[in-house]
Chain A
Amino acid sequence: MSRLPGCLALALLIGVVALGFIGLLSAGGSGAAIDWGYVWSLVRISLIQAGLSTAVSLVLGAALALALARRSRFRGRMLLIAGFNAATVLPAIVTVFAIVALFGRSGWIGEAARAVGLDYGSWVYGLDGVLLAHILLNAPLAARVFLAGLGAVSAEEWRLAAQLGMPPGSVFRFIDWPVLRREAAGVAALMFLACFSSFAIVLALGGGPRVSTLEVAIYEAVRFEADFSRAAVLALVQVGACAAILLPALILFGRRMSEAPPGGVAAMRPDIGSQRLRLLDGAILVLMGFLVLVPMATIAVGGVASLASLADGAVLVAMLTSLAIGVPAGALSVALALGLATLARDLRLRLLRPGLADLTGAAATLILVVSPIALSAGLFVMIRQWVNPFAVGIPLVILVNGLMALPFTYRQVEPPLLLAAERFGRLGDSLGLRGFGRLRLVEWPLLRAPLLVALAMATALSLGDLGVASFFGRGELVTLPVLLHERLGSYRVAEAGSVALLLTLLVAGLFLLAQRVSGGSIARPR
């Protein structure tokens, strides 16, 4: 296959990121006019918030995974797992809606508390609310990774444990704990990164200066103060911090996390008979069920209750805007991934430069370091010199969203492409299969499903994006997340319900499609 598309994709990727960096460096200048005390306080609160979110999510996720692994058959287990999985793919702003509609002052619980005369503050705005939202998104994700890891324990190990007569404590110590420890590192790094760069949740629930992240501060500097030099410095700090978090994690735990879905092996566990564990597991399942599933039920009920508000046209326009951004962003991301992956494959197999091939692959992953708002800020500063950035808002949002999904689309597309070459490359060569015929007969059957999965995931990610769309939209580019955030911000929680439900259905539908196509389970990319 020609190397041209791959080179173009790589040039676009590097060009956009370089443009962003040049913008940031030129606007940031020497950083002389910056209040560094303010920057450090931002970093500090972000680290504390991300640390707490990650720690609690890990512990709850591990407890949930163990409970689900030990209770391998009970009524509603599949439903429960589906609910937890759905919680991990919710757009962040929808999670915010669920928390406000449930725990907020005028939410279900707030109303109920006031009805019985309790003093119920608005605790959801601040660190508590941010933590809760992050835990809702991340604990089920951690549980999912842990459960897959536990499912990958060989059946022989469980039989051996049964034969040796291991009590529950020993089962945990010798089998469960090593799995949890091994899987925790990678998932913790990803969750920490996500919480450290959290945007929508912190913007909506942070309650002003009490909790913030660099991402939110960059957005506010540009949006409300037009202070580009401060935005640029904050963005550079953000990129530096993400690199400091992600690079060691990638080097230390570069191995992929377990993805094998658990089979029927759990029934072999010798510790399922323990009465104490049975009670513990029951308590965990009830607690986590309440914590995760009730907010999700709030979305369904709140959405259905406010269906009438769909009629005002604003929601329909927002949905069309969202799709007009999300679908091209998804397609762009898949095209870039395909280009980079063919280039990497060519470098690896034909030019025998595996080092360069790995570097190309790394380029697709390392975009995680350049957070969306930081990149947006850099591009904004650069483009401002030539055109009004708001005038080209939609293409910019598509571009940034497409780039942000690249690590996940690349991961979908690269393995089957390599497989096609390794499995059928020599056969194809010897038969003289070339060009389109080869593409159709060799690559397409292996690529069709991963491409569709990648497209669905990238589109879903873009549909859920609040940050980039509000950054370039200046309040005029109203996508579904932007509309939802507006309505939440003006305390029109009831009218927000229908938007939240619509957005959830769109995103969940795409993930369901991806899951159906891939025949397995898909973890939320982040």
Chain B
Amino acid sequence: MLVLDDVRVVYPDFEVRYDLTVPTDALCALIGPSGGGKTTLLHTVAGFAPVASGTIRFDGRDLTALAPAERPLSILFQDHNLFPNLTAAQNVGLGIDPRLRLDGAARRRVEDALARVELAGLGQRRPAELSGGQRQRVAIARALVRDKKLMLLDEPFTGLDPGLRADMIALVDALRRERGLTVLMAIHSPEDAASVADLVAFIADGRVDAVGPPSEILAPGRSPKLDRYFRRSG
């Protein structure tokens, strides 16, 4: 279970406050207006945001004070998930050893992970030689070899075509069921999440405004902010 218990993050120009509980193995979609705090929530869990008070726990372990590398999670950003001068295989390999000293077994693991995301044989390509969707698959492959139980995705599929986007979300859904991952996924278009998400959290003005199953959140009348976001009258 992932718990954000009254977590307050203070930046010089703005402040956010989160309360959120996501059961183990669940996929929670984060929706909400741009600038509302979705990315900051993910950065807070990943350890990139200055937490002023509150606690972040995952499966009973307190993450609040841990360095980013010590947290049991992987994160995918919208862009720049790969180091541009390293090959796809090297980028995945960094997930096993950040010094990139890989033995035969490690290299096989990299190949297996690339194959799992349908990139078998493309390991020697550099990011510039891959399509946008392929680049994000490499990042997912790295998350696989890191083998962490919590996965954070910050709108990583927003730039892709609708069909491709659906494929990628289906891939994430399949992997989390395979491996028992807890997933927190910020998305741009809420309808993408309806079929796969167990939970939808609506983030606005730096708060978790509403949480619930997709059917509840995507239906009118749950909260005024939510209704405004969907341009519907409550």
Contact = CB atoms under 8 A, between A and B. Distances in A.
A joins B in a complex: yes
A407 to B, nearest CB: 30
A293 interface: no
Contact of B98 (A156, A164, A178): A164
A154 B48 contact: no
Interface string B75-97: 10101110111100000001100
A159 B86 contact: no
What is the interface of chain A mostly: helix, strand, loop, or mixed?
A: helix
A147 to B, nearest CB: 19
A2 interface: no
B74 A163 contact: yes
Contact of B83 (A157, A162, A268): A157
A167 interface: yes
Interface residues of A, number: 19
B69 A162 contact: yes
Contacts of B80: 154, 156-157, 160
A160 B46 contact: no
B83 A174 contact: yes
Contacts of A157: 80, 83
A164 B69 contact: yes
Contact of B75 (A163, A167, A170, A270): A163
A166 B99 CA distance: 7
B160 interface: no
A76 interface: no
Contact of A268 (B48, B81, B84, B85): B48
A154 B99 contact: no
A245 interface: no
A165 interface: yes
Nearest to B95: A164
B68 interface: yes
Given A164-B98, A166-B98, A159 B85 contact: no
B98 to A, nearest CB: 4
Nearest to A169: B99
A421 interface: no
Contacts of B67: 162, 165
A22 B75 CA distance: 65
A153 to B, nearest CB: 9
Contacts of B77: 156, 159-160
Contacts of A174: 83, 85-86, 94, 100
Contact of A162 (B48, B79, B95, B99): B48
Residue among A164, A167, A270 with most chain B CB within 10 A: A164
9 contacts: A154-B80, A159-B68, A160-B81, A162-B68, A164-B95, A166-B99, A174-B86, A174-B100, A178-B83
Interface of A: 154, 156-157, 159-167, 169-170, 174-175, 178, 268, 270
